[in-house]
Structure 1
Amino acid sequence: MKRPTIADLAQAAGVSMSTVNRLLHGGATVRSETVEHVVETAERIGFYGLGTLRERRKPHRNLGFLMQRSHRPLYQLWAAQIVAAAARRTDTVIKANVLFEDDLAPEAVATNLLSLGKDSDAVAVITADHPLVSQVIDELRATRVPVVAYITDLSAARRGGFVGTDNWKGGRTAAWFIRQTVRERGKVFPLIGSHRYQCQNISDASFRSYMREHAPDFDVSDTLLVHEDPGKAHEVIQKLIDENPDLMGIFVNDGATSGVLGAMRELSPERQRKIRIVCRDLGPETRKGLSEGLITASICHPFDKMPQELIDVMLRLVECPDTPSIEQRLVPFEILTPESIWT
């Protein structure tokens, strides 16, 4: 028996051959009612491209993801996990468009966010909080394109949602590790990358809250700003080590872990063992630091669960673009130590 052709399917469904071709090859949008009718006809006549047509029955979504710093392995890992999570969705065909922003000036972030939103059904963004970014979020929401804050929340009243970890608990957990593992009382120095990242500010505040409550005999310094720059962090830690022989703890609450570790590796093993480092990321350098025993613990974002939750929130907002509420998904953070790290 002759296998049904595209022409046979078009005739049986009462549509043009160009419509069938668009469905098979993912061309221009075809109405959902037409897609359903063509798929049912293909099933009935035993058309060979049934699998492809069934894929076209699923909704197709363009999701945009504005990341930072293309040169940092941590952001490359996050981007790869997002693309992988999008590919695993079985209910929706997702085109994941990841854009890296190396210029972190709010003007550049706002421009790229607006550009990405023009071709997306929803957008997720990792960025510092700034009025220019909030303005673009308002503009996109007016065109029914929701924006979801990822990793660090934003103050924009019209953002669609936030997906991240509980940063208050994260900071207090970091303080708990330092309080429990430091052998001698001394000075503790928190580092922060930017005053405009909500996740870092909240973690910093809760870190201090715990130390005031449970470790009043520690000397916790003012928070040091290192701009997520490894070179700056290396310089700062070198100076702290030289000037503070009673340095006992460092909370790395930003992405400059490699610079901190570089300074630590210049110390004698005896001095290294006295200083406890707790950080909040899990890039390749952090894994190396854990394996070497230089890092006591990493309070980090789970690479597997975070992207799944993010995409789920984005798809829900696409289906309900006019919802007035802000959807918040807090994913439990992971705690890794030198004894639990997978290498």
Structure 2
Amino acid sequence: MAGRPTIKDLARAAGVGTATVDRALNGRGTVREDTVRKIAEAAHRIGYHAAALIDQQIDAALPEITFGFVLHKGKQQFYQNFAKEIEAAIAARTDIRGRAIIRFSASQTPEDFLKEIRKIAPKIDVLGSSAVNHQNITQEVRQLKEAGTPTFALLNDFAQGIREAYLGLNNMQVGRMAGWMVTTAAKAPGKLAVFVGGNRWHGHELRETGFRSYVRDSAPGFTVLDSLVNLETRQLTYESTLDLLDRHNDLRGLYVAGGGMEGAIAALREVSQPHQVALVVNELTIDSRAALTDGFVTMVISTPLQELCTDMIDKMVNVVKHGSSETPGQSFIQPQVYLPESFG
């Protein structure tokens, strides 16, 4: 078309009437959202001078949603990546004007989680958290629900029966996968050890249960030692792994069900040979990837964060727009599995 595109050119390009374009440009009357989007796309395509005005009309019509998140271990690579994927999933939505408030609990205590939740609660429409299991957390979730703010349990299930849904891995399945890998990779029957973050992590308890269940049912030649609490810290895991290796010369495998895997990797590098002890960890990081390559980690079971966050934001938008479900649910994401040959 010659010269500057006119409103008639825009109407023709969008396949609508000029009156519809006029209403979309000036906010007169009601124009369906999909029609406004069609006009906006055509305006950008033909270089219509008021394309930005149509974009503003679209933005003004979109609902605003403020998403709140309280995670933990903010310095850990996995949770930094989690926060980035949350922001990306919200930015990818074209049906809302969304923003995220992301806070990190100073520790894994219920009090610190509650402190951060209460800071953001008045500002948000929906909450997602990786909080621990505790009656005070459950009570807070109940109060949020009564105030019209639904809560989603992320990675670790808490406030069952009150929270809107659990989103994450099937932790029982993850534990059984770890049990299969450790017993398959072990060079001979012997002892196995499991690290859990603490007694308030429901997800860790399920992983431990799945691990023990698999070994009991399918690998009776192995003995699972009493589980060790590492508080998801590198140093405690490091010291405990060295102690295990010193006391049990028939230690064949380790499973770190939560955080702190860097300590187990460091201990194995220090006193054992590659592939001597089968080690399964969760989440692919710089450390776990390097240990896979070097033979000190046997398998990494990883949470696909992009898929999780896309599903999570979709469910959060739905509950804000349409209300809570009468039946609290759960949504399992299939884990990603990484082996030494995954990066060949």
TM-score in terms of structure 1 length? 0.84
The correspondence of residues 169-208 of structure 1 with structure 2, limited to 5 A, is 169-208=173-212
Selected match of 1:262 from 246, 251, 266: 266
Selected match of 2:117 from 100, 113, 116: 113
Other structure's SS at 2:341 match: coil
CA offset digits 1:298-326 (Å, max 9, x no partner):
11211221111111111111123343211
Tell me, yes or no, if the aligned pair for 1:65 and 1:98 is still in contact at 8 Å: yes
Q: Name the stretch that deviates more: 143-152 or 176-185.
A: 176-185
Using a 3 Å threshold, how does the CA distance of structure 1 residues 291 and 56 change in structure 2: closer, same or farther?
A: farther
* One-letter amino acid of the counterpart of residue 78, structure 1: F
Q: Does 1:253 align with 2:257?
A: yes
The correspondence of residues 30-179 of structure 1 with structure 2, limited to 5 A, is 47-48=50-51, 49-179=53-183
Give distance in 1, aligned partners of 2:272 and 2:191. Answer: 19
* One-letter amino acid of the counterpart of residue 132, structure 1: N
In structure 2, what is the equivalent of residue 291 of structure 1? 293
Other structure's SS at 2:70 match: strand
Give distance in 1, aligned partners of 2:343 and 2:157. Answer: 28
In structure 1, what is the equivalent of residue 327 of structure 2? 325
Give distance in 1, aligned partners of 2:79 and 2:343. Answer: 20
Q: Does 1:275 align with 2:289?
A: no
CA offset digits 1:152-174 (Å, max 9, x no partner):
11134321111011111111111
- Offset, 1:84: 1.0
Tell me, yes or no, if the aligned pair for 1:186 and 1:248 is still in contact at 8 Å: yes
Give distance in 1, aligned partners of 2:89 and 2:106. Answer: 24
* One-letter amino acid of the counterpart of residue 59, structure 1: P
Tell me, yes or no, if the aligned pair for 1:161 and 1:313 is still in contact at 8 Å: no
CA offset digits 1:198-223 (Å, max 9, x no partner):
11100100110010011111121011
Q: Does 1:229 align with 2:233?
A: yes
Other structure's SS at 1:274 match: coil
The correspondence of residues 301-320 of structure 1 with structure 2, limited to 5 A, is 301-320=303-322
Give distance in 2, aligned partners of 1:221 and 1:241. Answer: 13
* One-letter amino acid of the counterpart of residue 262, structure 1: A
Tell me, yes or no, if the aligned pair for 2:230 and 2:236 is still in contact at 8 Å: yes
Other structure's SS at 1:104 match: coil
Give distance in 1, aligned partners of 2:107 and 2:190. Answer: 38
Using a 3 Å threshold, how does the CA distance of structure 1 residues 197 and 241 change in structure 2: closer, same or farther?
A: same
- Offset, 1:284: 2.4
Q: Name the stretch that deviates more: 152-161 or 233-242.
A: 152-161
Gaps of 5+ in 1: 5-11, 14-19, 24-31
TM-score in terms of structure 2 length? 0.84
* One-letter amino acid of the counterpart of residue 147, structure 2: T
- Offset, 1:46: 7.4
Q: Name the stretch that deviates more: 200-209 or 55-64.
A: 55-64
Tell me, yes or no, if the aligned pair for 2:137 and 2:159 is still in contact at 8 Å: no
Selected match of 1:216 from 205, 220, 244: 220
Percent of residue pairs bearing the same amino acid type: 25
Give distance in 1, aligned partners of 2:77 and 2:89. Answer: 18
Detail structure 1 runs of 4+ shifted over 3 Å in the superposition: 32-36, 42-48
In structure 2, what is the equivalent of residue 238 of structure 1? 242
CA offset digits 1:35-65 (Å, max 9, x no partner):
98xx79x989974521232123222211111
Pairwise CA RMSD: 2.7
In structure 1, what is the equivalent of residue 18 of structure 2? none
In structure 2, what is the equivalent of residue 26 of structure 1? none
Gaps of 5+ in 2: 8-21
- Offset, 1:69: 1.6
Tell me, yes or no, if the aligned pair for 1:313 and 1:327 is still in contact at 8 Å: no
CA offset digits 1:96-127 (Å, max 9, x no partner):
11111123221221122122221111010001
- Size of the alignment, in residue pairs? 314
